[in-house]
């Protein structure tokens, strides 16, 4: 059976969406069937990154029980050639939708959790997806914790920023551990200077700080910053070192039992 991956972080701007999209494309290029869902209802960004401005139904509608998930999913498989399958479900980026999602109460969030948990049956079992990737909002937002509870594996994007390190450590102990979630760290935007003493030193340091497995270290690539979220490296730049690193991370996830 397929797996649900939630991509989360303590702070914003750690590279969750970049990681989610590039992992999704990489899995699809490896011949897998992938579904990528934007659960960042406070700041939807997948629609911009994928250059899609209209949808028959948004993920908001699915969680509001207005439509079923097949109305939300868009088939982007043709963008990655004829290897695997890539479907996406987008969050509604309109201000009204963002305001509406921010004002939901506990009962709505409880029902939304039920709708997310049901995707395991409808997408992984019935439609045979290998991976369902949930891109989330940073921090302790309802939608993000719903995604974490639904996930089989949580990828935590983090940087060397001190407040991010402290917050990530707290979340590991007080969020992921409490839900008994399998968690892997992705250290992003690592500056050359930090890697000068060697990758192994960084890995050892990270294990000491977080005490959870490390999925990968992504150096700070000027090309990625310069692209300003307009390029999906795994799709458009197959030979770029960033694409290679994401490829290694995807392989590690595929090899997990």
Partner 1 sequence: MSKEEVLAKKPLQVLEKIRENLEKLNEKVEVMIELQKHERKDIQQPLSDAPLDVMTLLSMPDHLRKTAMTICRLGRATANEVAEQTKRARAVESAYLNQLVIMGHLKKERNGRKAYFFVDRENQE
Beta carbon nearer to partner 1, 88 or 148: 148
Instruction: List the interface residues with partner 1, window 128-167 (CB under 8 A).
Output: 142, 145-146, 148-149
Beta carbon nearer to partner 1, 131 or 142: 142
Instruction: List the interface residues with partner 1, window 164-203 (CB under 8 A).
Output: 175, 178-180
Beta carbon nearer to partner 1, 149 or 225: 149
- Asked if 52 is part of the footprint of partner 1 (rule: CB under 8 A), the reply reads no
Residue ranges of alpha helices (H) inside the chain are 16-29, 46-49, 59-63, 69-72, 95-102, 106-117, 119, 142-150, 162-171, 192-195, 199-210, 222-226, 233-236, 241-255
Beta carbon nearer to partner 1, 60 or 141: 141
Instruction: List the interface residues with partner 1, window 82-111 (CB under 8 A).
Output: 106-107, 109-111
- Asked if 113 is part of the footprint of partner 1 (rule: CB under 8 A), the reply reads yes
Q: Give Cβ neighbours of residue 64 (< 8 Å, ≥ 6 apart).
A: none
Closest to 122 (Cα-Cα) out of 83, 79, 71, 179:
71
Residue that is written with structure tokens 């992504």 in the block = 218
Binding site for partner 1 (CB under 8 A): 106-107, 109-111, 113-114, 117, 142, 145-146, 148-149, 175, 178-180
């Amino acid at each position: 059976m397929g797996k649900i991956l939630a991509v989360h972080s303590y702070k914003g701007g750690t590279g969750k969406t970049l990681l989610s999209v590039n992992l999704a494309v990489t899995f699809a290029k490896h011949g897998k069937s992938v579904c990528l869902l934007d659960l960042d209802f406070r700041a939807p960004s997948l629609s911009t990154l994928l250059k899609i401005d209209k949808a028959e139904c948004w993920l908001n509608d699915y969680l509001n029980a207005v439509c079923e998930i097949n109305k939300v999913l868009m088939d982007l498989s043709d963008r990655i050639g004829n290897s695997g399958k890539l479907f996406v479900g987008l969050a509604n980026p309109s201000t009204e939708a963002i305001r509406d999602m921010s004002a939901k109460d506990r009962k709505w969030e409880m029902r939304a959790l039920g709708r997310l948990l049901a995707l395991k049956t409808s997408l992984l079992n019935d439609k045979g997806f290998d991976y369902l990737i949930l891109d989330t909002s940073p921090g302790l937002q309802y939608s993000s914790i719903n995604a974490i509870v639904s996930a089989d594996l949580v990828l935590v994007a983090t940087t060397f920023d001190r407040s991010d390190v402290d917050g990530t450590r707290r979340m590991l102990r007080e969020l992921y551990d409490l839900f008994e979630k399998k968690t892997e760290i992705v250290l992003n935007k690592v500056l050359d200077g930090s890697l000068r003493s060697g990758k192994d030193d960084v890995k050892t340091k990270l294990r000491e700080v977080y005490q959870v497995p490390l999925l990968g270290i992504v150096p700070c690539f000027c090309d990625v910053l310069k692209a300003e979220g307009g390029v999906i490296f795994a799709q458009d730049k197959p030979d770029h070192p960033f694409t290679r690193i994401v490829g290694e991370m995807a392989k590690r996830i595929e090899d997990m039992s």
